[in-house]
Amino acid sequence: MFVSAVLLLVCLYFLILKTRRPRNFPPGPFALPILGNLLQLSLEDPLKYVEKLRRTYGNVYSLFIGSNPAVVISGLKVMKEAIVTKGVEFAGRPQDLFINAITMKKGVVGVALADYGLSWKEHRRFALMTLRNFGMGRTSMEDRIHGEIQYLIKTLESNVGETMSPEHMFHKAASNIICQVLFGTRYDYDNDFVTVIIQSVVEITKLINGPWSMLYDSFPFIRNLPLPFQEGIKNAERIVAAIGDLVTEHKKTRVPGEPRDFIDCYLDEMDKRLDDSLFSEEQLNLIGQDLYIAGTDTTSNTLLSGFLYLTNNPHVQERCQREIDQVLEGKARVTFEDRHKMPYVQAVIHEIQRMSNTVPLSVFHCTTKNTELMGYSLPKGTIIIQNLTSVLNEEGQWKFPHEFNPENFLNDKGEFFKPEAFMPFSAGPRMCLGEGLARMELFLILVTLLRQFKFIWPEDAGEPDFTPVFGLTLTPRPYRMKVELRSTND
């Protein structure tokens, strides 16, 4: 009996040691052995807890995900020091979380979640170069986007005078644009294949950073149990398998040296690197998944947020339309270059991105070496959580930090400007690969649709609910909008 009690006390002692903060580590709330701070988190909306702790402990504090210490960073000053000034020291990725299980297979990992090292550097360089070669910021990409916009227009025209939910329409449009870049193909909006894949993406992003993801991260011993996070892993496998089938088709039809899309470019690169194990078909499948998820979910959710704000701020919508009409008079279609003549439209799009705050905690980083931040000591491998919400609505950085107002991006002369605190794509070495594509999509889609249609909040819809659903990305709650054709007098 005495021996058992001693052993129990020894075990408790070591468990408590595991949740003790290292010397000169950022402060934070008391953490329970094994559980860490899990019981204190609002599992439905962890952002509330993150902000509550910030008010207590400041812009650099720590909490425990199970027995793993993590540091939450907030505010522009801290964010700049960590991910810009010391970007390389904070450019790692933790490798034992639920999100890794989604994007990793047999030690191979997609570029977004790869740890900082040679494979990540080589694949990021290749991805950036290939995306640029396929028209990022050029007319070829504009043509792809405009081609997809025609299907959006057809969908909206069929709903003129009616109310409709834009959710599936925007998801499938964003999906088709990235599919054309990656796979050289697009799918009809009622295509079963793309419907299943998009649903898989939606389910995955809901799980990541949600309650079941936190349980997976905190308790390794439950990872093989038949719990909801297993469905997320199955969904990821479904996407990777679908991409694998497309790669197999490409291998049969490709002409080496004459790439049609990202897959062909990657296969060409593999041919050049016959003795290089960094590039492989398995790696290609996972990178394809990374880029597809990133290129679909964030853009579609930003568009959904955008039309939610525009329907509930008709004066903003009307001012956009006046500027669009003036700049595009006599032109068949908008070009990305036209954005420089549309300061108010640019301000509105950036304000939509700021308020939609699509990836509020970014993707977790970790330190690549022992380092310091704001005087605190952070050991190598410390998980870093970016509270991007704190920057996008930081007092002193914005004229109207807590409300939707395009004036946040206009100077006293009415000219567009981008405040330093605008970082919805994060910043530094790990800045989002798809920023250029997302910016072009948002501008071309919004301008083209606002030029032809008026979007109205239905009279019987009640008060709008701007509270998003939390996950890896913040998703607007389902809503309906009324669609009308614009008349010449609008």
Q: What is the CATH number of the domain that holds 312?
A: 1.10.630.10
The predicted pLDDT at position 292 comes to: 87
Is residue 159 domain-resident? yes
The predicted pLDDT at position 3 comes to: 38
pLDDT in tens, the chain (490 residues): 433 443 443 344 334 444 578 899 999 999 888 888 888 876 667 888 888 999 999 999 999 988 889 999 999 999 999 999 999 999 988 887 887 777 665 444 556 667 777 888 888 888 888 887 765 545 678 989 999 999 999 999 999 999 999 999 999 999 999 999 899 888 888 888 888 888 888 888 878 767 788 788 888 888 888 988 888 888 888 888 888 999 999 999 999 999 988 999 999 999 988 877 788 888 888 888 888 888 888 899 999 999 999 999 999 999 999 999 999 999 999 999 999 999 999 999 999 999 999 888 888 899 999 999 999 999 999 999 999 999 999 999 999 999 999 999 999 999 999 999 999 888 888 887 778 888 999 999 999 999 999 999 999 888 999 988 877 778 899 999 999 999 755 6
As a whole number of angstroms, the distance between CA 449 and CA 441 comes to 12
As a whole number of angstroms, the distance between CA 427 and CA 293 comes to 19
Provide the whole-model pTM: 0.90
Q: How many CB atoms lie within 10 A of CB 21?
A: 14
Is residue 260 domain-resident? yes
Phi and psi at residue 265, in whole multiples of 5°?
-60, -40
Q: Is the distance from CB of 373 to CB of 71 less than 8 angstroms?
A: yes
Q: How many CB atoms lie within 10 A of CB 403?
A: 12
Return the bridge partners of 416, or none. 410
The predicted pLDDT at position 490 comes to: 62
Is residue 17 domain-resident? yes
Is residue 490 domain-resident? no
Containing H/E element for 65? strand 60-65
Q: Which residues contact 478 (CB under 8 A, 6 or more apart)?
A: 165, 167
Q: State the helix-helix crossing angle for 281-311 and 118-133, rounded to 10 degrees.
A: 60
Separation of first and last alpha carbons in the chain: 85
What is the domain extent for residue 157? 2-485
Three-point CA angle 472, 20, 23, nearest 5°: 100
Q: How many CB atoms lie within 10 A of CB 61?
A: 22
Phi and psi at residue 150, in whole multiples of 5°?
-60, -35
The predicted pLDDT at position 137 comes to: 47
Pick from 29, 79, 22: nearest CA to 54: 29
Distance of CA 88 to the CA centre of its chain: 21
As a whole number of angstroms, the distance between CA 74 and CA 55 comes to 11
Count up the domains in the chain and report the number.
1
Q: Please say whether the dihedral angle defined by the alpha carbons of residues 300, 306, 311 and 312, taken in this order, is positive or negative.
A: positive
Counting beta carbons within 10 angstroms of the beta carbon of residue 37, is it exposed (0 to 12), middle (13 to 18) or buried (19 or more)?
buried
Output the CA–CA distances (angstroms, integers) from residue 224 to 21, 101, 197, 416, in the order listed. 29, 12, 24, 52
Contacts 24+ apart (CB under 8 A), 152-156: 152/445, 152/449, 153/448, 153/449, 153/452, 155/189, 156/449, 156/452, 156/453, 156/483
Is residue 248 domain-resident? yes
Is residue 214 domain-resident? yes
Q: How many CB atoms lie within 10 A of CB 24?
A: 10
- What DSSP letter does each residue of 376-444 carry, written as one string? EEE-TT-EEEE-HHHHHT-BTTBSSTTS--GGGGB-TTS-B---TT--TT--GGG--TTHHHHHHHHHH
Eight-state DSSP code of residue 465: -
Counting beta carbons within 10 angstroms of the beta carbon of residue 192, is it exposed (0 to 12), middle (13 to 18) or buried (19 or more)?
exposed
The predicted pLDDT at position 38 comes to: 82
Q: Which residues contact 460 (CB under 8 A, 6 or more apart)?
A: none
Pairing label, strands 383-386, 68-73: parallel
Is residue 338 domain-resident? yes
